[in-house]
């Protein structure tokens, strides 16, 4: 199967495998165990509770967490289309709009461009009231790391 063609009936198992890879990555398992992920066709949604241990000195969520959630949502939206190799983020830009201080936040990623080796995706981060916290756009490139051998 060409990994950029529409996925067949097994696409659901591919999405679940990607979710498992995400949840079992050391950075997520050890530092962000409260994060959830749901992957679909060219989409990914992550949720996470904002807690004070993730704040900077200004008493709101650190920008690195915004970046992480936006990049991960866009990345996995692209990865939903690739069944054989891991992708790398090659570029990602974010715009921070407002601070997050409490509650559940949601990052949604959507693929905008599908190429043979390069994908472009957008993501947005919102709070529980649906207010925009941040948004981003990134480029993702196929690596030489096979998915089949990854933990998860």
Asked whether residue 4 is domain-assigned, the answer is no
Q: What's the pLDDT at 152?
A: 60
- Are the CB atoms for 121 and 75 separated by under 8 Å? yes
Q: Which residues contact 53 (CB under 8 A, 6 or more apart)?
A: none
pLDDT tens digit string along 124-133?
Answer: 999 999 999 9
pLDDT tens digit string along 37-81?
Answer: 999 999 999 999 999 999 999 999 999 999 999 999 999 999 999
Q: State how many domains the chain has.
A: 1
Whole-model pTM: value is 0.91
The radius of gyration of the chain's CA atoms, rounded to the nearest angstrom, is 15
Q: What's the pLDDT at 2?
A: 41
Asked whether residue 80 is domain-assigned, the answer is yes
The CA-based dihedral angle spanning residues 41, 61, 91, 151, taken in that order and rounded to the nearest 10 degrees: -60
User: Which residues constitute the domain of residue 72?
Assistant: 11-149
Asked whether residue 30 is domain-assigned, the answer is yes
Q: What's the pLDDT at 9?
A: 43
Asked whether residue 144 is domain-assigned, the answer is yes
Q: Tell me the C-alpha distance between 107 and 104, whole Å.
A: 10
- Helix count and strand count (H, E) for the chain: 3, 6
pLDDT tens digit string along 29-42?
Answer: 888 888 999 999 99
| Residue 142, token pair as written in the block | 């196929």
Asked whether residue 141 is domain-assigned, the answer is yes
Q: Tell me the C-alpha distance between 37 and 143, whole Å.
A: 22
Does pLDDT of 11 surpass 80? yes
Does pLDDT of 17 surpass 60? yes
Asked whether residue 3 is domain-assigned, the answer is no
Domain containing residue 90: CATH number: 3.10.129.10
Q: What's the pLDDT at 150?
A: 76
């Amino acid at each position: 199967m060409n990994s950029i063609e529409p996925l067949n009936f097994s696409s659901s198992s591919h999405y679940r495998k990607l979710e498992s890879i995400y949840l079992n990555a050391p950075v997520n398992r050890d530092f962000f165990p409260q994060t959830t992920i749901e992957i679909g066709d060219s989409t990914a949604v992550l949720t996470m509770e904002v807690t004070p241990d993730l704040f900077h000195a200004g008493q709101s969520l650190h920008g690195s967490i915004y970046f992480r959630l936006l990049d991960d949502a866009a990345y996995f939206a692209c990865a939903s289309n690739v069944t054989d190799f891991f992708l790398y983020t090659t570029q990602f830009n974010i715009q921070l709009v407002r601070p997050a201080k409490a509650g559940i936040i949601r990052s949604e990623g959507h693929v905008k461009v599908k190429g043979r080796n390069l994908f472009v995706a957008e993501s947005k981060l919102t709070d529980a009231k649906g207010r925009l916290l941040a948004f981003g756009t990134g480029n993702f490139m196929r690596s030489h790391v096979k998915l089949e051998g990854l933990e998860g």
